[in-house]
Structure 1
């Protein structure tokens, strides 16, 4: 009998749990990640009070990127080999929210045992 063992090796960490910034300045939200996958996608989401999470943008280490239309002007991200910080230009009070960084859930590593 052959068993298949699958496990994800992805890890995401947002070291800054709380941030405060003056209105009108740029804010950088940090997100560090670790993955063994060559095809990973990194995402940012926003969740405002009493609302559900909303997609902001997607980045890939190999150049794939996409921003939701309402976040194209002030929300930017550049992915590196281990981080994908989110920069918010011209911060506004309405940007106050919880921000989530995530890796694609579709990528897993499987090995036969």
Structure 2
């Protein structure tokens, strides 16, 4: 769903992502797309682990639940203004 989130610099924000799957071990990905740029990989979560792109290690986190993987961004910066996508890896 398209959801607009607004917050101030220095604040924390959480962007929701809900999914449905029959996979036992779903892999969920978050991507960021800044103006006039291609989507860029940020992080991946699955039941047994996680990984973050080095650029997104400090202030970005996501917690995988049974049907959601909300993205939390801490200490917001103006440069965080972008479109964020979550994706479920196809089987």
| Matched positions, count | 91
**1:20-76 deviations in Å (ceiling 9; x for gaps):** 10110001000001100112100000000000000000001x222100000000000
What is the alpha-carbon distance in structure 1 between the residues aligned to residue 11 and residue 19 of structure 2? Answer: 26
Partner of 1:88: 73
Match of 1:48 in 2: 34
- Taking the aligned partners of 1:63 and 1:86, their CA distance within structure 2 comes to 18
Tell me the equivalent position of 2:62.
Answer: 77
Of the candidates 23, 32, 37, which is equivalent to residue 37 of structure 1? 23
User: Unmatched 5+ residue regions in structure 1?
Assistant: 1-13, 108-113
1:17 aligned residue: 3
Q: Which residue of 2 aligns with 1:104?
A: 89
RMSD over aligned Cα atoms: 1.0
Q: How far apart are the structure 2 equivalents of 1:63 and 1:73?
A: 21
Which of the pair has more CA radius of gyration?
Answer: 1
Instruction: State the SS of the aligned residue for 1:32.
Output: coil
